[in-house]
């Protein structure tokens, strides 16, 4: 069977419940959020290990703070990772399921590795939360770092296997015609692309440290000398790590098929310009890192988002080689479920406003000080949740009665 025939026959015969461009936009957006949090976790782990090794009070304090960032950030990253995974399964299902079947062992091992990384991060945080300088340990941080790197390698390999569909047959079928069904294949690693992600994580963490100073500078119980130390470290890490990250990106670019003309892709060009501008802006922030933290963070995330758009464009180029396009998917609009999906999304954002505002304000005052919030925000958040539960329950009841599921 030809590869194009296989891929198109593997498309879900039920089609898509909504237009593929919407799923694609959501895929890029949620992946950008997910990869930003993953970068923060990975970079924070490296910086925490480094700061503990410096053996100074400010470094110990920063490492303890990053220990909490790592645990919370990894939790958020895991949750955010579900969304782009689901969108990939919807519009690139033949690629995703083939790669995960071909490398099933590594896909399952990925879950175990992420779990170990998560618990090791907690071991680092809890073990050093009250530790003095002489008792602080990086043991669990090293374990978490190794597990994070291994997890990144696994998911990178699965992504690269999806792009190299013409090689599937050669990977699965031996010279004697024997088909491998063990799920132990491991192929398609691109070192340049992997290093571009790993090194870039330091830039994200560096900008986060600039934000750390900006956020806590209003608190009287935070010494300004410590905050200056943190932000100076942050701007230095962000600036100097961007150069090798960009170099690794161009190394990876050299491995992209020239037929794609990817260097002329508008999103790649825009991402390259954004990366250079972001690097230059951070380079001018050494004297006032806290004052420039917000623009630096916006510029960095904008760069990440545009590069995620370029990444999606490259995936479409690879898919096009095999005669596959997400726009060839048959669309059967399901308006009730689509409306419910977007209504849930908007309602969820509104409900999350209350705890987000509460957490933001609570963190900017000394411990023990009471923070007052507008009670109407909390009341309306509860009302939205009640209405949402009522609508979902009513829809479930109507559908069950219509289909005779209750009798």
Show the 3-state SS of 84-133: HHHHHHHHCHHHHHHHHHHCHHHHHHHHHHHHHHHHHHHHHHHHHCCCCH
Taking only the tens place, the pLDDT of each residue in 268-279 is 999 999 999 999
pLDDT band at residue 407 under the 50/70/90 scheme? low
328 with 350, same domain: the answer is no
Secondary structure of 29-62 in the HEC alphabet?
Answer: HHHHHHHHHHHHHHHHHHHHHHHHHHCCHHHHHH
Q: Are residues 79 and 42 part of one domain?
A: yes
Question: 246 and 394 in one domain?
Answer: no
Q: Tell me 265's DSSP state.
A: -
Same domain, 295 and 343: no
Same domain, 95 and 237: yes
Q: What is the pLDDT of residues 68-78, one digit of tens each?
A: 999 999 999 99
**368 or 344: whose pLDDT is higher?**
344
Q: Specify whether 273 is located in the same domain as 353.
A: no
Single residue among 316, 333, 350 that ends a domain in this structure: 333
* In a shared domain, residues 326 and 358: no
- Percentage of the chain exceeding pLDDT 70: 99
Could you tell me which of 318, 224, 218 has the C-alpha nearest to residue 265?
Answer: 318
Spatial CB neighbours of 243, under 8 Å, sequence gap ≥ 6: 279
User: Is residue 343 located within the same domain as residue 222?
Assistant: no
Range of the domain at 316: 3-333
The confidence score (pLDDT) of residue 405 equals 66
What does the CA dihedral 385, 389, 392, 396 come to, rounded to 10 degrees?
170
Look up the pTM and report it: 0.93
Lowest mean pLDDT among 5-9, 178-182, 183-187, 317-321: 178-182
| Mean of all residue pLDDT scores within the chain | 91
Residues 218 and 362 in one domain: no
Dihedral of CA atoms 224, 228, 230, 234 in degrees, nearest 10, equals 150
Which residues are within 8 A (CB) of 362 and not within 5 positions of it... i.e. 6 or more apart?
Answer: 371
pLDDT of residue 4 exceeding 90, the answer is no
Q: Which of 333, 352, 381 is the last residue of a domain?
A: 333
User: What's residue 361's pLDDT?
Assistant: 87
* pLDDT, tens digit (0-9, with 9 covering 90-100), for 92-151: 999 999 999 999 999 999 999 999 999 999 999 999 888 777 788 899 999 999 999 999
Residues 387 and 250 in one domain: no
SS3 content of the chain, % helix, strand, coil (to 5): 80, 0, 20
**DSSP calls for 227-254:** HHHHHHHHHHHHHHHHHHHHHHHHHHHT
Do 226 and 329 lie in one domain? The reply is yes
Q: Which of 313, 333, 353 is the last residue of a domain?
A: 333
Would you state the pLDDT for residue 10? 87
Q: What is the pLDDT of residues 134-146, one digit of tens each?
A: 788 899 999 999 9
Q: Could you give the CA distance from residue 67 to residue 78 in angstroms, rounded to a whole number?
A: 17
Considering only residues 255 and 368, tell me which one the structure prediction assigns the higher pLDDT: 255
No. of helices (H) and no. of strands (E), the chain: 13, 0
Tally of domains within the chain: 2
One domain, residues 374 and 246: no
CA dist., res. 316 & res. 310, Å (int): 10
List all residues 6 or more positions away from 274 whose beta carbon is below 8 Å from its beta carbon: 299, 302, 303, 306
3-state secondary structure of 173: strand
């Amino acid at each position: 069977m030809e590869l194009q025939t296989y891929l198109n026959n593997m498309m879900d015969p039920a089609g898509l419940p909504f237009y593929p461009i919407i799923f694609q936009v959501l895929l890029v957006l949620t992946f950008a959020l997910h990869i930003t949090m993953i970068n923060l976790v990975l970079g924070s782990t490296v910086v925490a290990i480094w700061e503990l090794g410096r053996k100074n009070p400010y470094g110990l304090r920063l490492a303890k703070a990053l220990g909490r960032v790592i645990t919370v950030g990894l939790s958020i990253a895991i949750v955010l990772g579900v969304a782009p995974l689901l969108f990939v399964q919807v519009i690139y299902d033949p690629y995703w399921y083939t790669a995960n079947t071909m490398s099933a062992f590594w896909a399952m091992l990925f879950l175990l590795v992420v779990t170990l990384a998560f618990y090791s991060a907690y071991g680092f945080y809890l073990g050093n939360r009250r530790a003095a300088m002489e008792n602080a340990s990086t043991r669990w941080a090293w374990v978490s770092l190794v597990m994070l790197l291994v997890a990144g390698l696994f998911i990178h390999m699965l992504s690269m296997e999806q792009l190299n569909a013409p090689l599937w047959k050669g990977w699965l079928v031996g010279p004697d015609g024997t088909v491998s069904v063990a799920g132990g294949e491991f192929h398609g690693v691109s070192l340049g692309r992997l290093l571009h992600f790993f090194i870039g994580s330091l830039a994200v963490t560096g900008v986060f440290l600039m934000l750390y100073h900006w956020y806590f500078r209003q608190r009287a119980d935070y010494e300004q000398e410590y905050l200056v130390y943190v932000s100076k470290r942050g701007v230095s890490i962000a600036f100097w790590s961007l150069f090798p990250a960009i170099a690794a990106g161009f190394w990876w670019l050299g491995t992209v098929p020239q037929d794609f003309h990817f260097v002329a892709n508008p999103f790649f060009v825009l991402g390259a310009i954004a990366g250079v501008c972001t690097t230059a802006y951070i380079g001018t922030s050494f004297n006032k890192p806290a004052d420039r933290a917000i623009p630096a963070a916006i510029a960095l995330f904008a760069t990440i988002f545009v590069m995620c758009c370029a990444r999606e464009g490259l995936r479409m180029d690879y898919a096009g080689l095999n005669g596959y396009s997400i726009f060839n998917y048959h669309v059967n609009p399901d308006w009730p479920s689509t409306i419910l999906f977007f209504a849930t999304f908007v309602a969820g954002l509104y409900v999350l406003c209350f705890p987000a505002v509460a957490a933001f304000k609570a963190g900017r005052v000394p411990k023990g000080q009471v923070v007052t919030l507008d009670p109407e925000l909390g009341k309306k958040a509860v009302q939205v949740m009640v209405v949402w539960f009522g609508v979902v329950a009513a829809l479930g009841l109507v559908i069950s009665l219509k289909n005779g599921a209750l009798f």
